[in-house]
Amino acid sequence: MSSRLELIAKLILLVGLSLSATPANAVWLTNLCTADTSLIEVAPSNNNGGQAWVLSGRTQNGPRNRGLYKFDLANLSSNAIVQAGTLVLEVTGVPAEPPVFSAFGLRRILRPWGEGDKAATGSNPPGRGLLADAGQATWLYANFPTNAWSAPGGAAGVDFSSVESSFQFIYGLDVYRFESTPEMVADLQEWVNHPEANFGWLLLCSAEDSIFTARRFGSREDGSAPPRLELQFFVPPRIESAQIVGSEFQLSFTTWPGQNYAVEFRSELAFGSWQSLTNIGFATNAAKLVVVDAVAAPQHFYRVVAF
C-alpha cells in the first residue's frame, strides 16, 4: 500500500499545475528607475549620471545626446510571466528655439554600463556633466576609461539592439508613455528569466540628423518626474512539496499578492471533471500554504489554479 501512495504522490507532482490569467486578473506593479544617465557627444569624456535629467536628441549646435535607463526587476518572482510593460517619461526641458517634433525609440542595451554620479557645477554648462571617474558611462565609454563602446555613443546591433522595443512621438513639456509591444515584453521577460542580462534601454531620437530635437527627460534624481516602468504580469503557482503524512495528503505552494487561488482534484490523470478541494481566494501577501486532503480510494490527482 505504501508504494502505491508514493507513486500517487509522484504523479501529483507531475500534473499538479494549472494556470489561467486575463488582463483583468493580472498583477500590476510600478517600478522606479534604478540607473540612468546621458551620453553627451559635445563632452565625450564626461559623465552625467547625477543630473536631474537625461538628455536625448540633437541640440541646436549639432551635437547629439542619448539616454540610458535601467530598471531592477528583482521584486518580480523568478517565474513571473510578463504580459505588458509601459515606460513613462516626462519631458522637463526643450530647446529655447522652436523645438522639432520627433519620434524617440527604446533599444535594448546589450552590454553593461556605469550610471555614475556626475552633474555640472559652477560655471560648467548645465547638462554636460563632469569628467568621468572609473566605471562611469560617457559618449566614448560604457565604463570609463577601459571599456569603450563599439562606436562613439554606441553602435546598433553591437552595443544596443537594432530593433526598436517601443517608440513615442515627443513634442513639448508633457508626460509620455512608451506603450507595451511584443518586443518590450520580450525584453522584460528576458530580464526576469536572466537578470544578469538586464542592461536596460537606450533612448534614441529617430531624427538625430535634425537639430532642435534634443529634450530633457526627468531622471531618477528628479523626485517630481522620475522614470517609471508599469508592469503587468502573472505568476503561475509552483507546487513546492507533495507528501503523504499518516492518513493525509499534504500539498504546499506559495501565493503571490494580487492573485486568486484554488486547489482542485480528480480521480483520473487524463480525463474527468476537476472538483474543488478548497477555494483559497485572493492573496494579499506572499505566503506558503499547506493544503490537506484525506487519503482515499480511488487515487486523486491535484492541481493548483491561479486566476
Q: Please report, for the chain, the start and end positions of each structural domain, with discontinuous segments joined by +.
A: 2-25+236-306, 34-226
pTM: 0.84
For residues 191-216, b (16+ Cβ closer than 10 Å) or e, as one string? bbeeeeebbbbbbbbbebeebbbbbb
CATH topology of domain 2-25+236-306: Immunoglobulin-like (2.60.40)
% of residues, the chain, pLDDT over 70: 92
1-13: pLDDT as tens digits: 444 444 444 444 4
| Amino acid making up residue 38 | S
Residue 269 has pLDDT above 50, yes or no: yes
Contact (CB, 8 A) for 218 and 226? yes
- The 3 state secondary structure assigned to 42-96 is CCCCEECCCCCEEEEEECCCCCEEEEEEECCCCCCCCCCEEEEEEEEEEEEECCC
Measured from the Cβ of residue 141, the count of other Cβ atoms closer than 10 Å reads: 23
- Each residue of 118-174: pLDDT tens digit? 999 877 788 899 999 999 999 999 999 999 999 999 999 999 999 999 999 999 999
